[in-house]
Chains A and B, each alone.
Chain A
Amino acid sequence: MRNSPFSSIWVVCPAYNESTAIVSVITRLRQAGYDVVVVDDGSADETRQLATASATAVVSHPINLGQGAALKTGIDFALEQGADAIVTFDTDGQHRASDIPRLLEALVSNQADFALGSRFLTEPLSMPRMRRILLWGATLFTVATTGLRLTDTHNGLRAMTRRGAQALRLRQNRMAHASELLAEIARSGLRYVEVPVTIDYTEYSLAKGQRTGDFVMILLDLLAGKLYR
């Protein structure tokens, strides 16, 4: 990316059966000048083939492991490639590539290692009521368990420095990874900042998103993670 203090920026896109949206998402990121690694999480559709044609790199899980595992794989890959800034970006089309420069700028201007996107720092969103309640509950839970002062705890758009990425120990494969990532930020003691970003809710992204029952599984996963070393 031009005018960035970072010499190597990699955008990590975890993808599972995202053939509908992946090409347009990657194209926008590539046009913005970013290196994109797509982590195909054992998709059964054409995701991997489509990603191979448009992304900088594609890493394919031989079996479906979950979004948390895909993110971790993508971050590991970016670190291996020498990235000094890593951005995580959902492939269902809900994020905007134009928000990334603001995240990266926030890392530099705040001397932070994590810049976390927040949909609630922008203008009021037209969001389904149930989703708003669930996200509010998740935010309360995160504040109570990690002490981080955040407004949006389940936003897939984040940027981190190399040091930040190396400090993360991610073990949650599935949906609990977002909470675990925040817990890891708290544990690392590194500086974080929230940055307003825009989420584009489409019928497709809502269908791919989390459901009410998923939050029960997230709590169970987090509990099980605490019980075992």
Chain B
Amino acid sequence: MIAQIVLSLLLGIVLLYAWAQYRRSPIVAVLACVVSLMGFYFVWLPSHATRVAEFVGIGRGADLVLYVWACISLIVLLNLHLKLRTQHELLTQLARSIALANAALPEDASSSSPPRTSAFTEAQTSQPRYQLADGPRSGQTADQRA
């Protein structure tokens, strides 16, 4: 019974996580929901788990529950990966704004060009202009080709 309660608590946390993530990534949230609900079912009805496990050729119900848990972990990992992607997109937007705000233009072109409209430029109008260092860049890898 203790193990069932502890596992249920953990599965409940996963359900909460899925609910919280629904707006950002519905696919990940639905998958997490389905897998955790399956976990609930098998934790509280282990005999069913054993029957299903036998049916799919695993043998023991406990092993099946373990596999379900492994699935949840993998889904969370996938979600973390996707979150990293989102962070990288934000980083890209920031780097782009900096690049556009610091574009090197010949004098004649810059005087005749229309006013710049990037968000970063607008944010910088009342502040000192951002200046990039000329030193060696960091964070590059050889396979990151342009």
Contacts and interface: CB of A to CB of B under 8 A. Distances in A.
A binds B: yes
A77 B120 CA distance: 13
Interface stretch (B37-45, B46-54, B56-64, B108-116): B108-116
A128 B25 CA distance: 41
A129 interface: no
Nearest to A67: B146
A64 B99 CA distance: 12
A37 B140 CA distance: 22
Nearest to B81: A224
Contacts of A43: 137, 146
Given A56-B106, A73-B96, A82-B114, A62 B132 contact: yes
A41 B99 CA distance: 10
A114 to B, nearest CB: 22
B112 to A, nearest CB: 9
Interface in B12-71: 24-25, 27-28
Contact of A62 (B24, B98, B106, B118): B98
Contact of B104 (A15, A58, A171, A224): A58
Contact of B82 (A70, A82, A224): A224
A208 interface: yes
B108 to A, nearest CB: 10
Contacts of B96: 61, 65, 69, 72-73, 76
A57 B95 contact: no
Given A69-B92, A227-B27, A63 B140 contact: yes
B132 to A, nearest CB: 6
Interface size class of A (residues with CB under 8 A): 35 or more
Interface in B98-146: 98-100, 102-106, 109, 113-114, 116-118, 132, 136-141, 144-146
A60 B136 CA distance: 13
Given A76-B96, A80-B117, A227-B82, A57 B104 contact: yes
Nearest to A173: B92
A66 B146 contact: yes
Given A64-B140, A80-B114, A82-B113, A229 B99 contact: no
A155 interface: no
Contacts of B117: 80
A57 B103 contact: yes
Contacts of B105: 56-57
B106 A17 contact: no
Contacts of B27: 227
Which residue, of A35, A60, A91, has the highest number of chain B Cβ atoms within 10 A?
A: A60
Given A81-B113, A227-B82, A228-B86, A66 B144 contact: yes
Contacts of A173: 88, 92
Contacts of A89: none
Contacts of B136: 44
A70 B113 contact: no
Given A80-B100, A80-B113, A173-B92, A70 B137 contact: no
**For the complex of A and B, 5 pairs with smallest distance between CB atoms:** A16-B146, A41-B146, A58-B104, A228-B82, A64-B140
Interface of B: 24-25, 27-28, 78, 81-82, 85-86, 88-89, 91-92, 95-96, 98-100, 102-106, 109, 113-114, 116-118, 132, 136-141, 144-146
Interface of A: 14-18, 35, 37, 39, 41-44, 52, 56-67, 69-70, 72-73, 76-77, 80-82, 91, 171, 173-174, 208, 224-225, 227-229
